[in-house]
Amino acid sequence: MTNPPSRTPLRLLFLGIVLVLSTVAAACGSDTAESSSGPITLYSGRNEELMQPLIDAFTEATDIEVEVRYADSAELALLIQTEGDNSPADVFISQSPGALGLLAGQGQLQELNSDLLDRVDAGFRASDDTWVGLTGRVRTLVYNKDLVATTDLPSSVRELTDSSYAGRVGVAPTNGSFQDFVTAMRNEIGDAETAAWLEGMAANGSPNYPKNSAIVEAVGRGEVEMGLVNHYYNLRAVEADPSVPSVNHFFPADDLGALVIVTGGAVLTSSDSPAASEQLLDYLLSDEAQETFVAETQEYALASGVANSGPDGAPALDAFEVDTIDFDLLGEGLTGTQELIRSSGIEQ
Partner 1 sequence: MASSSNAPTASPGAGLGGLAIAIGALFIAPFAFVIQRNAELGVDLFDEVAARTTLDPLGRSLLLGVTVSGTAAVVGTAFAWLTTRTDLPFRRVWRVLAPLPLVFPSFVGATALIAGFASGGLIEQLLAPLGDFDLPNIRGFRGAWLVLTVFTYPYVYLPVAARLGSLPPSLDESARLLGRSPWGVFRAVVLPQAKGAIWAGSLLVFLYAISDFGAVALLGYDTLTEQIYADRLFDQARSMALALLLALTTVGVVVLERRMRGQLDTAQTVSSVELAPVPLGRWRWPAVFGVVTVVGNALIGPVAILGFWAWRGMTSDVASIGRSFDAGALVGPAIRTALIALVTAVVAILAVLPIAWLTARYRSRVGEIANALVVAGFAIPGVVIALSIVFWVLEAPLVSSLYQTLPLLVLAYVLHFGAQATRASQVAVAAVPLRLSDAGRTLGATRFRRLLAIELPLMRPGLVAGAGLVLLSTMKELPATLLLAPIGFDTLATNIWSATEAGALAQAGLGSLVLVALSGVLTWLVVLRQISHY
Interacting positions 182-241 with partner 1 (CB under 8 A): 207-210, 213-214, 217-218, 220-223, 233, 236-237, 239-241
Report CA 278 to chain centroid distance, whole Å.
20
End-to-end CA distance of the chain: 53
Judged by CB under 8 A, the chain residues 242 through 261 that form the site for partner 1 are: 242
Is residue 2 at the binding interface for partner 1, with CB under 8 A as the rule?
yes
User: By C-beta, is 89 or 317 nearer to partner 1?
Assistant: 89
Q: How far is the CB of 17 from partner 1 (least distance, A)?
A: 8
Q: At what angle do helices 73-83 and 97-105 cross, to 10 degrees?
A: 10
Judged by CB under 8 A, the chain residues 21 through 40 that form the site for partner 1 are: 23-24, 26-28, 30-31
Is residue 75 at the binding interface for partner 1, with CB under 8 A as the rule?
yes
Distances (CA, A) of 10 to 16, 19, 163, 289, 329: 10, 14, 70, 56, 61
User: By C-beta, is 218 or 260 nearer to partner 1?
Assistant: 218
Q: Three-state DSSP class for 336?
A: helix
Is residue 167 at the binding interface for partner 1, with CB under 8 A as the rule?
no
Among residues 50, 166, 189, 253, which is the contact residue for partner 1, using CB under 8 A?
50
Among residues 40, 41, 226, 256, which is the contact residue for partner 1, using CB under 8 A?
41
Is residue 70 at the binding interface for partner 1, with CB under 8 A as the rule?
yes
Q: Give the Cα separation of 277 and 271 in Å (integer).
A: 8
Sign, Cα dihedral of 271, 274, 278, 279: negative
Q: Give the Cα separation of 162 and 179 in Å (integer).
A: 21
Among residues 174, 269, 270, 286, which is the contact residue for partner 1, using CB under 8 A?
174
